[in-house]
Amino acid sequence: MSCGTGGKSCETPRRRGAFVMLGIMTLAFVALSLFSFMKSRGQVTPDTVSYGPYRAEDGKRVFQAYNCMGCHTMVGNGAYLGPDLTREYEQAGPAWLAAFLPSAGSWPTAAAVRAQLQDPVQHADSGAGTIEAYESKFPDAATRVARRGGKPSNMPNLPLTRDETGQLIAYLKYTSAMNTEGWPPRVEAEAGPDERLRLALGVQAIAPAAAAPVAPPAAGPADPVARGAQLAKDNGCTACHSTTRQRLVGPGWGGLYGSRVSLADGSSVVADDAYLAESIRQPNAKIVAGYPASVMPGYDTLLKNDEVDAIVAYLHSLEKQ
Amino acid sequence: MQIEYQTQRLSLRFFMLMLVLFLLQVGYGLILATQHIDPSVQAGTMNFNIARAEHLNLGILWILCGFIGAILFVGPLLARREMVAPWLIKLLFYALIFIAVWNFFTLRLAQYGIAGWWHGQPWLQQGLEYLEAGRIAGVLVLVGFAILAYVVLRTFPPVRQWNEIHWGLGLGVTALMAVWVFGLFYVARLDLQEYFRWFVVHYWVEGVWEVIHISLVGFLLVLMFKVDIKSVGFAVFWGVALVWLSGLIGNAHHYFWIGTPEFWQFWGSLFSALEPLPLVFCFWHIYLDAHTNRRPLENAPAFYFILGSVVLEQIGAGILGFSMTFALTNVWSHGTWVTPGHAHLALFGTFGMLGIAAAYYAVPIMRKAPDYDQRLGKLGFWLVLTGVLGLAFAFALGGTVQIYVYRILGLGWFGGDVSRAMGLFKLLLPMFGIVFTVGAGILAYDLFTLGRRVRAPAGTDPRGAIHGEVAMPRGSTGWGRPLSGFEAGIWLMLMWVFGGVITLGLLSFNLPRVRVLADPTLPYLLAGVGYPGLLLVTLAFVWRFLASLEARASLPAPTVVAVDAPLPLPARS
Ligand code: HEM
Ligand code: HEM
Ligand SMILES: [Fe+2]
């Protein structure tokens, strides 16, 4: 028989027909594809988007280098551990992102976002100089700060440099500007915020969460060390610094006070009150060896003198750690 | 049956490598499931994305090992001569090991943001889902595919003498290599990058792999049941033709939301909705080919896994794929856990089970143990089948909750809101994962040691107890009576009815009642009926089918039955 094992095919004429059909369909597919990427369609391309000095094209490389898609989706593709990032820039805005990305292990507080707004690049990009203006421009950032600020996040800290952070923001700005045919679908639910939480988690489940955001004490505690500890937390310092010797984004505070610190320029200083106060106000004045410059925002205009003193007192109390 | 050609033995090492990589991959799966519950597990040491990259990478590698093993085993039989260039095949084997080890070290560089940029290309790892490996590994893989294609095409007879199975495998190994090339370039635009990434991912699973799958299943049935190659050839031809004619433009179901124009929603929904056709067709042929011939099953585990592969292809790829392939349903399922529900059932079910089936068919022959103890294989089958159905259940229902909380209510805090709402299903995942892992461990142990263990003591049926315990008392009535075409049709229809319910469930998110008034009752109800219904029907059907086959062992030897004639009911013994 002609169609046995190793014998001839029985379907030869039909196969020809199938190949012809396939060829026609390939042509149609190629034509649709060419049209999809024509300039005249007006889809944004990364070479046209930047954030301050940072280019979206570089940001895409950073995004891939850290395999962000291994935990998040982008245009809906990727992993489902964290949220979709397509519209992240549009929702949270550049200052929230700049506060979050270098110390992703915890969520930015209002003070941490405010610190970012000092940066002229931020200012120019978001068009908001004050936290109030920023939050009204990016309402989602306001919700995030209110609900999560200062709490631990599920994302691990990544060793992002300042440039990489900026490039990532530029990339997210690009994806936010893309036309993705209405995806992710717009939220149309009418329920208010509390009602949504109740619908999502049930009544009992949200009770502890609702009680959680403790109002910051109106007048700081009298003890400067306790007050400093509270200030360090509120201003998002502990997102990047541990109270032990462990390195997070910045150096750990344990045993720092009074120790000799080697600086990036090769010199060294003793970590006394003056050095610590300066490092809070103008972190770039002296960079510790082994750390990149310009990661930490300057708190010069954000903290009053007595607040800086309280934080220094708190650091002093960690001397023995 | 015996080995006819010495080069068939080269397949053994690929099957063994497949099992090792399979176990590692499943281990990573358990880690992922744990990290979903507590993301601080291993954070800083092996972040979720690193483990996931390994999980996906090894998943692809072991499935490829299974394909290669199967192709090497049947290649000489199809060509009626030894494989050419066995040294190249050995090289391929070591290259695969090297790639697996290389990726183990390079994929974790993502934790430090190192991609190995050089001349605009990421050489060490590139952080793209499924294509995580860097250019160095990518080029090596291309060389590996080239070796495979060369060896297969050179071994086969001249094209004029090809039958349908040669065509399927020949086209398959060539396209496997061709499609991979689209993943070897860095693309700066996100939309264009995703466009080409799906060339690799979609055209692999829904084009090339399905074609290789149909051809291999067809030929394995020829070998196991001595089915007429002409009738299998007919099935293979139509299967392959329909897969490509629907899948070519069907790729557009990945182009709905990546920044490509709206018209893809029409083309993608239309053509990919046809993609289940060849799968229904293939499913039907399993029924016909396995049932028109009434021989008892000689190698039960091998057939169990072939059946599992075809059935899970039907429900995992065909039905769950269908449910999310329309722009109006995909807009909700996209980017949620509903997708991995489909992914696990389709990928492991269709292709993973095929590799294991081929191993169960080939290993006893190569180790000269035709009467091996089949109990472990059967047990392993039931465990991985239940496990993977359970995984799909947890993913799909968790995904349904995720759609509601994340997309309908617009709550975007994963740690605080979304994961908490999905909590129950996140817990179910590792539980079914453990069932799956135990099954995988049993299978691997069985296949590693098959033919080397002590034989079953004389007096017991070496093929396992099931013949006696389950099939005998029921004989040819009840669960064990022969499955008729009519009944198989009813089962298939039931599966699609539940598939329809699932599709309507996704569709119902569009209703103002759900979208605006935030009332989840309808989608939850439909998903709550659809997914468990589909998965339970599947389990019951596999059970029914196998009971019907097992019952043959207790029936008198068959008289010749004509292919097209209605089957006479056998007399009870
Ligand atoms: C055996 C065959 C198949 C396998 C192994 C398979 C596997 C996969 C995998 C792994 C994904 C996940 C991609 C990701 O991570 O984003 C996926 C997505 C998808 N599959 Fe399949 N698939 C198969 C067949 C089908 C069929 C026949 C259909 C349609 C009828 C289909 C429809 C879809 C759709 C619509 C998505 C996109 C989900 C999204 O991104 O929104 N699949 N498939
Ligand atoms: C014990 C068994 C397994 C467990 C517990 C498991 C668990 C997981 C988890 C938690 C994810 C990540 C989903 C996310 O991003 O949120 C995942 C992804 C994935 N796994 Fe598994 N897995 C297992 C076995 C397998 C097997 C055997 C295969 C295939 C051969 C497989 C293929 C995949 C694929 C393709 C994805 C990506 C899916 C997508 O993005 O849609 N897994 N798995
Ligand atoms: Fe696809």
A281-296: pLDDT as tens digits? 888 888 998 887 877 8
Q: Are strands A54-55 and A50-51 parallel, antiparallel or unpaired?
A: antiparallel
Q: Rounded to the nearest 10 degrees, what angle do helices B190-203 and B164-180 cross at?
A: 160
- Are A62 and A171 found together in one domain? yes
Task: Indicate whether A124 belongs to any domain.
Answer: yes
Give the separation between CA B366 and CA B555, rounded to whole angstroms.
29
Q: What is the pLDDT of residue A50?
A: 96
Q: For residue A272, give how far its alpha carbon lies from the nearest alpha carbon of chain B (Å).
A: 32
DSSP output for B318-382:
IIIHHHT-SHHHHHHHTTSTHHHHHHHHHIIIIIIHHHHHHHHHHHHHHTT-TT---HHHHHHHH
- Cβ(A83)–Cβ(B336) below 8 Å: no
| Shared-domain flag, residues A58 and A129 | yes
Q: What are phi and psi of A181, to 5 degrees?
A: 55, 45
Q: What type of residue sits at position B166?
A: H
**A269 phi and psi angles, rounded to 5 deg:** -135, 160
Do A162 and A229 lie in one domain? The reply is no
Residue A26 lies in a domain: no
Determine, yes or no, domain membership for A188.
no
Distance of CA A14 to the CA centre of its chain: 56
Structure tokens at B365: 């022959």
Q: Count the Cβ atoms, other than its own, within 10 Å of residue A12.
A: 13
3-state secondary structure of B564: coil
> Within this chain, do residues A55 and A154 fall inside the same structural domain, yes or no?
yes
Distance of CA B489 to the CA centre of its chain: 23
DSSP class per residue in B43-87: TTTS-HHHHHHHHHHHHHHHHHHHHHHHHHHHHHHHHTSPPS-HH
In a domain, A193, yes or no: no
- Which of these three, A149, A177, A205, is where a domain ends? A177
Same-domain pairing of A125 and A233: no
Is the CB of B25 inside 8 Å of chain A's CB atoms? no
Q: How far apart (Å, rounded) are the C-alpha atoms in residues A242 and B200? A: 44
Could you say which of A141, A159, A177 is where a domain stops? A177
- Are A115 and A299 in contact by the 8 Å Cβ rule? The answer is yes
Q: How many CA atoms lie within 13 A of B431 on its CB side?
A: 9
* Strand extents, DSSP E, chain A: 50-51, 54-55, 73-74, 77-78, 260-262, 268-270
Burial class (CB in 10 A: 0-12, 13-18, 19+), A260: exposed
Same domain, A62 and A134: yes
Q: Which residues of B404-414 are buried (b: 16+ CB within 10 A; e: fewer)?
A: bbbbbbbbbbb
- The CA distance from B44 to A160, in Å, is 14
Neighbours of A83 (CB within 10 A): 20
Backbone angles phi, psi at A192, to 5 degrees: -75, 175
**What is the model's pLDDT at position A6?**
47
Contact residues on chain A for B4, CB-CB shorter than 8 A? none
Segment (H or E) for B117: strand B117-118
Contact state of A7 with B163 under an 8 Å Cβ cutoff: yes
Task: Looking at the structure, tell me whether residues A71 and A131 fall in a common domain.
Answer: yes
User: Which class for B280: exposed (0-12), middle (13-18), buried (19 or more C-beta within 10 A)?
Assistant: middle
Q: How far is residue B20 CA from its own chain's centroid?
A: 17
Say if residue A93 is in the same domain as residue A155.
yes
pLDDT the model gives residue B479: 79
Instruction: Dig out the tokens for B88 from the structure.
Output: 């190249």
pLDDT at B472: 43
More confident residue, A319 or B337: B337
More confidently predicted of A30 and B559: A30
Chain centroid to Cα B347, Å, comes to 3
Same domain, A169 and A229: no
Query: For the CA atoms of chain B, what is the radius of gyration?
Result: 23
Regarding whether A267 and A173 lie in a shared domain, the answer is no
Looking at the domain assignment, is residue A194 inside a domain?
Answer: no
Distance (Å) of CA A49 to CA A59, A200, B109: 10, 37, 28
Alpha carbon distance B427, B425 (integer Å): 5
| Last residue in a domain, options A177, A206, A241 | A177
Q: What H or E segment, with its residue span, contains residue B522?
A: helix B521-550
A258: closest CA among A246, A272, A268? A272
Residue A119 lies inside a defined structural domain of this protein = yes
The pair of three-digit structure tokens given for residue B513, joined into one six-digit string: 């009642």
Query: Do A241 and A302 sit in the same domain of this protein?
Result: yes
* Residue from B41, B54, B209, B344 to probe ligand 2 pocket by mutation (most atoms less than 8 Å from CB): B344
The pLDDT value given to residue B297: 81
Whole-number Å distance between alpha carbons of B320 and B341: 8
CA distance A21 to chain B (A): 8
Residue contact A7–B43, C-beta within 8 A: no
Size of interface A-B (CB pairs under 8 A): 271
Question: Distance (Å) from the C-alpha of residue B554 to the closest C-alpha of chain A?
Answer: 32
Evaluate whether residue A61 is within a structural domain: yes
Ligand 1, atom 24, residue with closest C-alpha: B317
- State whether residue A148 sits within 8 Å of chain B by CB: yes
B109-119: buried (b, 16+ CB within 10 Å) or exposed (e) per residue?
bbbebbbbbee
pLDDT of residue A34: 96
Instruction: Name the phi and psi angles at B480, rounded to 5.
Output: -90, -5
Angstrom distance (rounded) from CA A134 to CA A147: 17
Report the pLDDT value the prediction gives residue B456, as an integer from 0 to 100: 56
* Structural domain count of chain A: 2
> Is A13 exposed, middle or buried, given 0-12, 13-18 or 19+ CB atoms closer than 10 A?
exposed
CATH at A87: 1.10.760
CA dihedral B522, B524, B526, B532 (to 10 degrees): -170
- Please state, as a whole number, how many other Cβ atoms lie within 10 Å of the Cβ of residue A267: 10
Can you tell me the ipTM of this complex?
0.92
- Distance (Å, rounded) from C-alpha A106 to C-alpha B400? 28
By most ligand atoms within 8 Å of CB, the mutation choice from B57, B206, B212, B403 for ligand 1 is B206
User: Residue A58 is part of which domain span?
Assistant: 47-177
Q: Which long-range contacts (CB under 8 A, 24 or more apart) does A277-284 make?
A: A277/A308, A277/A309, A277/A312, A280/A308, A280/A311, A280/A312, A281/A308
- Residue A77, classed as helix, strand or coil, is strand
What digits encode the pLDDT tens for the residues A134-190?
Answer: 999 999 999 999 999 989 999 998 989 889 999 999 999 999 999 999 999 999 999
What pLDDT digit, counting tens, does each position of A65-101 carry?
999 999 999 999 999 999 999 999 999 999 999 999 9
CA distance A8 to B124: 46
**B561 and B552 Cβ atoms separated by less than 8 Å:** no
Asked if A148 contacts A239 with a C-beta cutoff of 8 angstroms, the reply is no
Chain B contact set for A49 (CB, 8 A): none
Whether A121 has a pLDDT exceeding 70, the answer reads: yes
Q: Tokens representing A248?
A: 């997070």
**Per-residue pLDDT of chain B in tens (573 residues, 90 and over written 9):** 788 999 999 999 999 999 999 999 999 999 999 999 999 998 889 999 999 999 999 999 999 999 999 999 999 999 999 999 999 999 999 999 999 999 999 999 999 999 999 999 999 999 999 999 999 999 999 999 999 999 999 999 999 889 999 999 999 999 999 999 999 999 999 999 999 999 999 999 999 999 999 999 999 988 988 888 888 888 999 999 999 999 999 999 999 999 999 999 999 999 999 999 999 988 888 887 777 767 778 899 999 999 999 999 999 999 999 999 999 999 999 999 999 999 999 999 999 999 999 999 999 999 999 889 999 999 999 999 999 999 999 999 999 999 999 999 999 999 999 999 999 999 999 999 999 999 999 999 999 999 888 765 554 554 544 443 444 444 556 777 888 889 999 999 999 999 999 999 999 999 999 999 999 999 999 999 999 999 999 999 999 999 888 777 665 554 444 333 333 333 333
Neighbours of B96 (CB within 10 A): 23
* Model pTM score: 0.91
Q: Does A79 touch chain B (CB under 8 A)?
A: yes
In one letter, which amino acid is B442? Answer: I
Pull the structure tokens for residue B93.
């084997």
| C-alpha torsion sign, points A238, A241, A243, A246 | positive
Q: Is residue A185 part of a domain?
A: no
The closest ligand to the CA of B325 turns out to be 1
Residues from chain B contacting residue A21 (CB–CB below 8 Å): 245
Judged on CB neighbours under 10 Å (0-12, 13-18, 19+), B145 is buried
**Beta partners for residue A261, in sequence order:** A269
Q: What is the DSSP string of B388-402?
A: HHHHHHHHHHHHHHH
Same domain, A66 and A132: yes
Minimal-distance CA residue to ligand 1 atom 20:
B321
Peptide bond into A184 cis (omega under 30): yes
Name the one residue in this structure whose structure tokens are 């551990």.
A81
Pairing of strands B121-122, B117-118: antiparallel
* Residue that has been written with the tokens 């059932």 in this structure: B345
Looking at residue B495, its pLDDT comes to: 97
CA–CA dist B177, B531 (Å, integer): 36
B202 in contact with ligand 1, CB cutoff 6 A: no
Domain CATH number, residue A268: 1.10.760.10
Is any Cβ of chain B less than 8 angstroms from the Cβ of A19? no
Residue A211 and residue A203 in contact, taking contact as beta carbons nearer than 8 Å = no
B369 neighbors B450 (Cβ within 8 angstroms): yes
